[in-house]
């Protein structure tokens, strides 16, 4: 047997060092595990400070022993390279492991072991842990806001239908793939709006024009049999023209009125809330701010001074003011400038305000992408005879947008997380409902559970969005 040098472990005594090192690391971790899970201090006989630091010292020595270069064991080499490549990193790795072990028991006991979920009132919560009963009792409010209980099926139906309609992209056949962009950019938002307008809002007044709508739906169906050459023009003009002419000129008032339905009970937007409102506000702000942002980004790079400086002033204005003041303005100041009989719902005003606010950010993100494109792309497009719009639609924007997917995802995530601010104008989405629930005299003192719940919900939404943005990046990657 060779001489053993404990200060410089080497390959010749591999097994000895391995056994010694691993058992020391194991002992140190086990000690921390015992003390945090079972409150047993195995080294209690030692002075406090030494007993506190002992696991770290033992683990450190253990890691020192297993730090053998080119040991020939792949797993060990990987560990050494990634967690244990010098003394400092060994200590950091140990500390992180200890912190994770230490933090598991309190989290676990608060969320699960000592928590209560049964019962329907505060009295059911007897343990030291979280009171999930509170979330359970308030769940409807957190999801639907103050929307009447017996009408909540309307929200469910709308969202499920919209989800189903939104997923058609996955099932579309090759033949319909080319219409998908049009569908998602134009038709889907309109359908979503109609659902929200007729279903979630309800009320009889909105059904006044049903003959016009029926006629234009018929016109759209006929449109699929129109020759390809005229299809685009047909879809752009005919259904709208049919609808307008039926309502304005041809049919007398009574005929139009014949289509009137009583509709569903009207629920004013002030009563909407919770998660449903978060979704509604986020969805519409996302789809409005994107095209506006794109137009602003192009405008800012325009050679026409009027367009350029209008865009610059617009962007700098919205980037310069805090969202909270924008929301206040939209709900308090803005109606003062409107004519007396003109009414714009508070929710609509808020959506417009947030959209414009975020559009300024989106514009700057997209501008970054536009500037990253080499000038040669513009030259090539121009040399093929493309004008400004063709060049941007087919060559510049697809590339620029692809480049800025991470930036746009970032802005959109920020937008979703900014929506709780609409609390200040009295619209209570999920965080707003939380605020309301925690001041309810029957349920004082459970704000922690509420915030954890909201955090988890937002995290799920945002994580899904960021995952989706990674997918998009993968999908449009062409530099292989």
Residues found near other proteins in the complex (CB under 8 A): 374, 376-377, 379-387, 390, 394-395, 398-399, 402, 476, 478-480
Let me know: does 207 contact 252? Beta carbons within 8 Å: no
Which residues contact residue 19 at a Cβ distance below 8 angstroms, ignoring those fewer than 6 apart?
none
Residue 389 Cβ vs other proteins, minimum distance, rounded to whole Å: 10
Residue 220 Cβ vs other proteins, minimum distance, rounded to whole Å: 24
Rounded distance, CA 319 to CA 177, Å? 37
Candidates 28, 32, 112; CA nearest to 66 is 28
Hunting for tokens 């759209």 — which residue is that?
Answer: 220
Q: Which is nearer to other proteins, 419 or 469 (CB)?
A: 469
Please state the separation of Cα 247 from the chain's center in Å: 40
Residue 230 Cβ vs other proteins, minimum distance, rounded to whole Å: 14
Q: Which is nearer to other proteins, 317 or 476 (CB)?
A: 476
Residue 151 Cβ vs other proteins, minimum distance, rounded to whole Å: 47
Residue 364 Cβ vs other proteins, minimum distance, rounded to whole Å: 22
The torsion defined by the Cα of 175, 180, 182 and 186, in degrees rounded to 10, comes to 140
Tokens read off for 207: 């059904």
Q: Which is nearer to other proteins, 136 or 390 (CB)?
A: 390
Q: Which is nearer to other proteins, 320 or 385 (CB)?
A: 385
Q: Which residues pair with 330 in a beta bridge?
A: none
Residue 386 Cβ vs other proteins, minimum distance, rounded to whole Å: 6
The alpha-helical segments, DSSP class H, found in 224-345 are: 228-245, 253-258, 274-300, 305-320, 323-328, 334-337
Rounded distance, CA 292 to CA 364, Å? 12
- H-run or E-run covering 175: helix 174-177
Q: Which is nearer to other proteins, 180 or 444 (CB)?
A: 180
Q: Which is nearer to other proteins, 233 or 317 (CB)?
A: 233
Residue 379 Cβ vs other proteins, minimum distance, rounded to whole Å: 5
The three-state secondary structure class of 382 is: helix
Q: Which is nearer to other proteins, 39 or 480 (CB)?
A: 480
């Amino acid at each position: 047997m060779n001489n053993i040098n404990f200060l410089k472990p080497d390959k010749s005594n591999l097994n000895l060092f391995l056994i010694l090192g691993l058992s020391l690391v194991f002992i140190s971790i086990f000690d921390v595990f015992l003390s945090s899970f079972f409150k047993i201090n195995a080294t209690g006989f030692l002075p406090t400070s030494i007993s506190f630091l002992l696991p770290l010292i033992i683990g450190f020595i253990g890691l020192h022993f297993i730090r053998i270069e080119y040991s020939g064991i792949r797993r060990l080499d990987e560990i050494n390279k990634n967690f244990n490549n010098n003394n400092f990193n060994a200590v950091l790795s140990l500390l992180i492991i200890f912190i994770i072990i230490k933090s598991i028991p309190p989290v676990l006991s608060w969320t699960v072991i000592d928590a209560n979920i049964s019962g329907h009132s505060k009295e059911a919560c007897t343990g030291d842990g979280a009171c999930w009963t509170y979330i359970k009792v308030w769940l409807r409010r957190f999801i639907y806001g103050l929307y009447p209980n017996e009408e909540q099926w309307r929200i469910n139906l709308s969202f499920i239908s919209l989800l189903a309609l939104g997923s058609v992209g996955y099932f579309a056949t090759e033949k319909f793939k080319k219409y998908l962009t049009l569908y998602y950019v134009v038709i889907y938002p309109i359908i979503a709006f109609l659902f929200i307008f007729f279903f979630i809002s309800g009320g009889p007044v909105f059904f006044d024009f049903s003959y016009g709508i029926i006629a234009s739906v018929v016109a759209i169906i006929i449109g699929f049999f129109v020759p390809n050459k005229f299809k685009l023009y047909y879809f752009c003009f005919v259904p709208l023209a049919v609808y307008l002419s039926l309502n304005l000129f041809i049919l007398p008032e009574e005929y139009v009125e014949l289509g009137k339905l009583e509709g569903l009970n009207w629920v004013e937007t002030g009563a909407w809330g919770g998660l449903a409102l978060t979704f509604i506000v986020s969805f519409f702000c996302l789809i409005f701010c994107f095209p506006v942002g794109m137009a602003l980004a192009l405008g800012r790079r325009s050679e026409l001074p009027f367009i350029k400086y209008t865009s610059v002033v617009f962007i700098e204005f919205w980037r310069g003011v805090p969202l909270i003041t924008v929301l206040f303005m939209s709900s308090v100041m803005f109606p003062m400038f409107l004519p007396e009989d003109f009414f714009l719902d508070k929710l609509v005003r808020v959506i417009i305000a947030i959209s414009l606010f975020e559009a300024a950010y989106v514009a700057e993100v997209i501008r970054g992408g536009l500037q990253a494109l080499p000038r040669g792309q513009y030259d090539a497009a121009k040399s093929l005879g493309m004008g400004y719009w063709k060049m941007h639609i087919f060559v510049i924007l697809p590339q620029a947008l692809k480049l800025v997917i991470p930036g746009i995802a970032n802005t959109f995530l920020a937008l979703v997380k900014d929506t709780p601010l609409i609390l200040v104008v009295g619209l209570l989405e999920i965080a707003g409902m939380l605020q309301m629930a925690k001041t309810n005299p029957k349920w004082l003192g459970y704000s922690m559970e509420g915030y954890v719940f909201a955090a988890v919900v937002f995290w799920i939404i945002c994580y899904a969005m960021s995952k989706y943005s990674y997918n998009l990046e993968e999908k449009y990657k062409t530099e292989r």
